[in-house]
């Protein structure tokens, strides 16, 4: 078993699953637990758990999350951030045309 530290960043408020509720945007530390899979010619690792650490001024909340839920939340965030970038560009174009 090994644990790899990493981090994920969300640009917008997000949810991981319906049990957790909405979390604010920001960078979150995560730990990925992996178990070793021995093969004849190499060693591979399989993810068995991901823990996301949500910190606030008073405490740190440890949230167990599935890879599927984390990937889906990151995808929704990148899609909404891209949509917001497009809206911002459209607004600038409108303002530029009017002014």
pLDDT digits (tens, 9 = 90+) for 80-89: 755 554 444 4
Cα-Cα-Cα-Cα dihedral sign, residues 56, 47, 77, 5 = positive
Q: What burial class does residue 80 get, using C-beta atoms within 10 Å of its C-beta: 0-12 exposed, 13-18 middle, 19+ buried?
A: middle
- Bin 21: left if φ > 0, else alpha if -120 < ψ < 50, else beta: left
Task: Note the pTM of the prediction, 2 decimals.
Answer: 0.72
CA atoms of 63 and 53, how far apart (whole Å): 6
What is the tens place of the pLDDT at every residue in 5-45?
999 999 999 999 888 889 999 999 999 999 999 888 888 88
Structure tokens given for 55: 């910190």
The ranges assigned to domains in the chain are 2-98
* Spatial CA neighbour of 19 closest among 46, 41, 52: 52
């Amino acid at each position: 078993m090994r644990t790899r530290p990493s981090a994920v960043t969300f640009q917008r408020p997000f949810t991981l699953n319906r049990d957790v509720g909405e979390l604010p945007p920001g960078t979150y530390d995560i730990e990925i637990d992996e178990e070793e899979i021995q093969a004849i010619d190499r060693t591979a690792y399989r993810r068995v758990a991901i823990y996301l650490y949500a910190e606030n001024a008073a405490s740190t909340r440890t949230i167990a999350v599935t890879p599927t839920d984390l990937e889906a939340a990151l995808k929704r965030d990148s899609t909404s951030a891209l949509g917001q970038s497009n809206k911002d560009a459209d607004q600038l174009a409108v303002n530029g045309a009017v002014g």
